[in-house]
Amino acid sequence: MKYPGNIIGPCFETGDLVTFIFDGAEFTVRLPIVPNNKHNQDTVTCNRDFRGIDTRDWDINNQERPCIQLATQRWSFEDANSLDNVALCKLYLSVVEVTPAARKKNILLEVKTFKEIMLNWIAYATEDHEEQYLKDSNWPASANRFHEKVIEKEHLNWLRYELCYLEGTMPRPFAVAPINSRFVMMTRIEIDSLHYAGRQNPYSKELLRKFEFELFDDFLSHFDLRYSPETIAIIQSLKS
C-alpha cells in the first residue's frame, strides 16, 4: 500500500508473519515491525496454540465473555520531509469466546446467525451514540447496521463496521471474522493526529481518517484464515 503524501512508517507488506492455531482453523496475520521508541508498544501474546484451551484465566470483555489480546501495537507515522511524528496508530487484535450454548449451536459458522449475533454485540455497547444518529442519519447506528460491509471470503464472509468508541470522536473501522464455533476474531485500527507545540501538522484530519480506513483494509488483506476439512464440512452443512 502506498501511504498518502509523504507519510512513512511501518507497513504490513514487510511485517512479521504470526500464526495462531485453533481447533479446526489456522489464522495467520502480518504484524508490522514497530520501531523501538519511548511511546511505542509491540505486544504479541506468547500463546499461539489455542487448541482445547482453558479460558478461565482470560480477561473478560464488556459482555463478560472470555477474551484475549492476540496483539496490541502502537507506533507513530512520520512525515518524510520534516521527520515529525504526524499520526499515532493503534492496532488491536483479539479473540472472544462465545457462550457454550452458542458454541453448541455453531452460530458463528452460520452466515445469518453470525451477522445477527455480531450486530447485537456491537449494539450492546454503543447505545450512548444512538443520540448522534437522531441528529445525523449517516452516523453509524443499529438502524443502519453500523455501516456493515461484507468482506467476501471462500467459506465464511467477514464483516466490517464503523464504530464510535468515545463521545465526540469519529467512527473507526472494526472487523470481525469467525474462527471456529468457539471463537470470533475482532480487530480495529485507530489513527490520531499528532501535534507539537508551535508546529502545524501538514495532514488534515480528513486525510488521516481516510488513511485509517485504507490502512485497515490493507491490514485485513494480509489475513489468512484457513479452515480444516471438518470445519468446512460443518459450514457447508449449515449452509444447506
How many CB atoms are located within 10 Å of the residue 17 CB? 10
Cα four-point dihedral sign 231, 235, 238, 240: negative
- Per DSSP, what are the bridge partners of residue 89? 75, 191
Taking the least distance from each CB to other proteins, the nearer of 156 and 194 is 194
What gap in Å lies between CA 97 and CA 67, rounded to an integer?
Answer: 6
Q: Is 77 in the site for other proteins (CB under 8 A)?
A: no
Q: Is 60 in the site for other proteins (CB under 8 A)?
A: yes
Taking the least distance from each CB to other proteins, the nearer of 130 and 230 is 130
Residues in contact with other proteins, total (CB under 8 A)? 44
| CB 59 to other proteins: min, Å | 5
CB 45 within 8 A of CB 68: yes
* Single residue of 14, 152, 166, 240 touching other proteins by CB under 8 A: 166
- Per DSSP, what are the bridge partners of residue 176? 159, 186
Q: Is 194 in the site for other proteins (CB under 8 A)?
A: yes
Q: Is 231 in the site for other proteins (CB under 8 A)?
A: no
- Per DSSP, what are the bridge partners of residue 94? 69, 186
Cell numbers representing residue 9 in the block: 512508517
* Single residue of 114, 121, 139, 183 touching other proteins by CB under 8 A: 121
Stretch that binds other proteins, among 18-26, 136-144, 148-156, 161-169 (CB under 8 A): 161-169
Give CA separation, 237 vs 116, 156, 202, in Å: 19, 13, 54
| Site mask for other proteins (CB under 8 A), range 12-41, x = bound | -----------------------xxxxx-x
| CB 44 to other proteins: min, Å | 14
Q: Is 170 in the site for other proteins (CB under 8 A)?
A: no
Residues 6+ apart with CB under 8 A from 174: 122, 160, 161, 162, 163, 186, 187, 188
Chain residues binding other proteins by CB under 8 A are: 35-39, 41, 59-63, 67-69, 72, 74, 76, 82-85, 88, 90, 92, 94, 96, 121-122, 124-125, 165-167, 186-188, 192-199
